[in-house]
Structure 1
Amino acid sequence: KQLSSPPNLLTLSRIIATPYLSYMLISHNNNFSSTPIFALSLFLAMGFTDFLDGYIARTFPSTATVLGTYLDPFADKVFINVMSLTLWFTGTLPGMLVGLWVVRDVGMLSTTYWVVRKETSKKHNDDDSENIAVMDPQRTPLKVQASFMSKVNTTLQIGLIALGIAGELPFVDIPPEYMTGLCWLTAGTTIGSSLGYL
């Protein structure tokens, strides 16, 4: 039931569109010379849905769900990591930065799973085995709340990815020092946001 709420459907659309956007960039050398334009347009549309799902959930509280507090950041992580790996594959982003992003998010997801698993563990009345309700929103009242630094980091990551995609356009020339500076900045916020959760 929670999965069918409008904000969650918009979030799911971002997850589904992410591999297609990745494919568009990797197959950049196909017969469609305007592929980067389509990719950037899809990227902007996905960004709009990211804003829209949050706006709907805040404006119409009845559409907000516990599941959505997990699904929205998960969609962001899927998008950021798939796109960063894609841009590393195309030679746009450095491997060390992409590796840092991936390791950080895998660690965050693993930690979140462990905490929720611990908090929602139940004991059966008839034996000692555990009945885990990790992703059952009816039995998992814990909500995910991102820190301010984490939100800044996500914004910078998406901005860097946007520049990387825009740089594929034939009429866009992004100075290398801009990309380098933003790479260093996002590396710093990635480390800082990780330490903030300790």
Structure 2
Amino acid sequence: MTNVYFADDRFSKRHNKLKNAIRDKQIILQKTKQKFQNKGKFILDDIKETKSKVRDTIKENVWTIPNMLCMTRIVLSPYLGYLIVNGNFEYALSFVAIASITDLIDGWIARNFKGQKSKLGSFLDPMADKVLVGTMFFTLTYIDLIPIYLTGIIILRDLVLIGAAFQIHYMSIPKPRTLSKLFDVTNTNVQLAPMFISKVNTTVQLVMVCATIAAPVFDYVDHPALQALWWLTTSTTVLSAISYIVHRKKTYKICNNLKR
């Protein structure tokens, strides 16, 4: 009889131990489930907040004169490429002159007239310049008026700067980093402060592409002066990239508001 009681007690202890283990597992599973539910809710809330930010940005007055001028440069850039590829260099020169004037005008209007500065414009203005200049470099390289190595160096430099700015912008976002914070242009952001060598480089690039477009018109293709301008552009582009890397703390400034 004693053995029976002993076996029953041992079975009861094992049963209770197993029951406790099952209960502990259920608690762990419940906590894990709650954790995933909370994380899922956090992601959904973040997506909703991101959509709200996008809607707010869209509601902003984007139909400003500077934005329209920027969009005009972007939309007409392929036509400039078409003119260059088809050898209509006289028209291409006129187009570049008009585009340069609109670039000056849109910046002046945004700075001096109320209601003409916008968040969208802070992105459109540099984008329009990159699209226009990039189109000229690609097409002039395509028709063998600019060496391919030069275009490659310029594109690589721009990609490095864009990548560095994005990385610093991401690191500047307070934790937890979310999509809404990443794409919120009103949030703490990174502003690129142009250095003197960068301004010189931009000027040299514009002079070079304009001189290259004019070369077939005035018959000085492959002139030594034009080739010297290629090397000058290469030098200023490389120096500009090195300066941004060496002085990146001064170059990329964290600011609360993007300025055009």
Give the fraction of aligned pairs with identical amino acids, expressed as a percent: 32
Structure 2 counterparts to residues 1-198 of structure 1, below 5 A: 1=60, 3-28=62-87, 35-60=88-113, 62-120=115-173, 123=176, 130-139=178-187, 141-169=189-217, 172-174=218-220, 176-198=223-245
Q: CA deviation at 1:43?
A: 1.0
The answer to whether the Cα contact below 8 Å between 1:2 and 1:8 also exists between their aligned partners in 2 is: no
The answer to whether the Cα contact below 8 Å between 2:165 and 2:190 also exists between their aligned partners in 1 is: no
Q: CA deviation at 1:51?
A: 0.9
Following superposition, which runs of at least 4 residues in structure 1 exceed 6 angstroms of deviation? Answer: none
The answer to whether the Cα contact below 8 Å between 2:89 and 2:216 also exists between their aligned partners in 1 is: yes
Give the paired residue count: 185
- Mean Cα deviation higher: 102-111 or 58-67: 58-67
Residue segments in structure 2 that go unaligned for 5+ positions in a row: 1-59, 246-260
The answer to whether the Cα contact below 8 Å between 1:134 and 1:140 also exists between their aligned partners in 2 is: no
TM-score normalised by L of structure 1: 0.82
Q: How has the CA–CA distance of structure 1 residues 181 and 60 changed in structure 2, closer, same or farther, with 3 Å as cutoff?
A: same
Amino acid at match of 2:69: L
**Residues 112-159 of structure 1: CA deviation (Å, up to 9, x unaligned):** 222223334663xxxxx7224445433355433322211111111111
The answer to whether the Cα contact below 8 Å between 1:160 and 1:183 also exists between their aligned partners in 2 is: yes
2:227 and 2:234 map into 1 onto residues whose CA distance is 11
Say which structure is richer in helix. 2
The answer to whether the Cα contact below 8 Å between 2:70 and 2:103 also exists between their aligned partners in 1 is: yes
Amino acid at match of 2:195: S
1:114 and 1:141 map into 2 onto residues whose CA distance is 11
Q: CA deviation at 1:71?
A: 2.6
Q: CA deviation at 1:96?
A: 1.0
**Residues 40-61 of structure 1: CA deviation (Å, up to 9, x unaligned):** 1111111111111111122225
The answer to whether the Cα contact below 8 Å between 2:111 and 2:117 also exists between their aligned partners in 1 is: yes
**Residues 6-52 of structure 1: CA deviation (Å, up to 9, x unaligned):** 22221221111111100111123xxxxxx222111111111111111
TM-score normalised by L of structure 2: 0.64
Which protein has the larger Cα radius of gyration, Structure 1 or Structure 2? 2
Amino acid at match of 1:63: Q
SS at the partner of 1:197?
Answer: helix
SS at the partner of 1:143?
Answer: strand
CA RMSD of aligned residues (A): 2.2
1:94 and 1:87 map into 2 onto residues whose CA distance is 9
Q: How has the CA–CA distance of structure 1 residues 154 and 83 changed in structure 2, closer, same or farther, with 3 Å as cutoff?
A: same
- Mean Cα deviation higher: 173-182 or 114-123: 114-123
Residue segments in structure 1 that go unaligned for 5+ positions in a row: 29-34, 124-128
Q: CA deviation at 1:79?
A: 1.8
1:65 and 1:152 map into 2 onto residues whose CA distance is 27
